[in-house]
């Protein structure tokens, strides 16, 4: 099974790329969703996060309010690092288990969509990494309109992810520029799939 790591900042178009890869036959694992599972009330992740950030991040039902938590961590790099130190290993366990299940089932290709792929050290799970990037002005507009973020929230997210993109630019196997229309992006993905994944004889991970 060939494993593709798909990374890039928020608002760059990763979800579109992942949807195209899924339509071409890849199994897609959303690392963000796996990470959110580690927040589940009563879980090990929940206990560690509450111990670090306090009960004020909980809602009335005792669940972690991710909006409250986001306001804390995206305003403080050290707090964000603390959260990542808790969540990344637990999320990795979940992703590795899913990859084992897919491999055992004979899946040909899998995609792990992860914003913090390099920062979490997950590149060791991948056969190759694709970075999706987009012009900063386009990303700002998507976050303002599509995700209804304020200018301050947009600036904080983009600043937090600037180093990630710089790291990925030097290490990724493929850099996919989302600098045109969505149909153009979809065509780029199909072309890459045909060039890099569909060819027989490609090496596989594990």
User: What domains can be seen in the chain, in order of their start residue?
Assistant: 2-197 (3.40.50.300)
pLDDT, mean of residues 182-191:
96
* Residue 92: burial class (beta carbons within 10 Å; 0-12, 13-18, 19+): buried
Which of 16-30, 129-143, 152-166, 185-199 is predicted least confidently?
152-166
* Torsion from C-alpha of 133, 137, 140, 146, nearest 10 degrees: -80
Confidence band for 155, pLDDT divided at 50, 70 and 90: confident
User: Is residue 2 within 8 Å of 200, Cβ to Cβ?
Assistant: no
Helix (H) / strand (E) containing 78 = helix 77-104
Which of 7-21, 60-74, 143-157 is predicted least confidently?
143-157
Nearest one of 70, 74, 49, 82 to 162, comparing CA atoms: 74
| pLDDT exceeds cutoff 50 at 80 | yes
Question: Considering the entire predicted model, what is its pTM?
Answer: 0.84
Which of 40-54, 143-157, 178-192 is predicted least confidently?
143-157
Percent of the chain with pLDDT over 70: 95
Nearest one of 171, 188, 177 to 136, comparing CA atoms: 177
| pLDDT exceeds cutoff 70 at 205 | no
Tell the residue number behind the tokens 């990630």, with chain if given: 164
| Region of residue 27 (phi > 0: left; psi between -120 and 50: alpha; otherwise: beta) | beta
Query: What pLDDT score was predicted for residue 206?
Result: 46
- If one counts every other C-beta atom within 10 angstroms of the C-beta of residue 87, the result is 20
Q: Please tell me the distance from the alpha carbon of residue 124 to that of residue 146, in angstroms, as a whole number.
A: 33
* Residue 182: burial class (beta carbons within 10 Å; 0-12, 13-18, 19+): exposed
Q: Which residues contact 14 (CB under 8 A, 6 or more apart)?
A: 6, 7, 8, 113, 115, 132
* Torsion from C-alpha of 101, 106, 109, 110, nearest 10 degrees: -10
């Amino acid at each position: 099974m060939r494993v593709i790591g798909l990374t890039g900042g928020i608002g760059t178009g990763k979800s579109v790329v992942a949807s195209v890869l899924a339509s071409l036959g890849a199994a897609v694992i959303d690392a963000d969703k796996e990470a959110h599972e580690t927040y589940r009330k009563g879980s090990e992740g929940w206990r560690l996060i509450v111990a670090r950030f306090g009960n004020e991040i909980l809602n009335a039902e005792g669940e972690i309010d991710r909006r409250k938590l986001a306001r804390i961590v995206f305003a403080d790099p050290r707090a964000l690092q603390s959260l990542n130190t808790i969540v990344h290993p637990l999320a990795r366990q979940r992703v590795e288990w899913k990859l084992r299940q897919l491999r055992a089932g004979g899946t040909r290709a899998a995609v792990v969509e992860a914003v913090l792929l390099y920062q979490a050290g997950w590149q060791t799970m991948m056969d190759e990494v694709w970075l999706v990037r987009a012009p900063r002005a386009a990303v700002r507009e998507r976050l303002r309109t599509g995700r209804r973020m304020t200018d301050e929230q947009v600036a904080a997210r983009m600043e937090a992810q600037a180093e990630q993109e710089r790291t990925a630019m030097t290490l990724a196997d493929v850099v996919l520029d989302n600098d045109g229309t969505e149909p153009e992006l979809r065509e780029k993905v199909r072309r890459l799939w045909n060039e890099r994944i569909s060819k027989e004889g490609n090496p596989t991970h594990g």
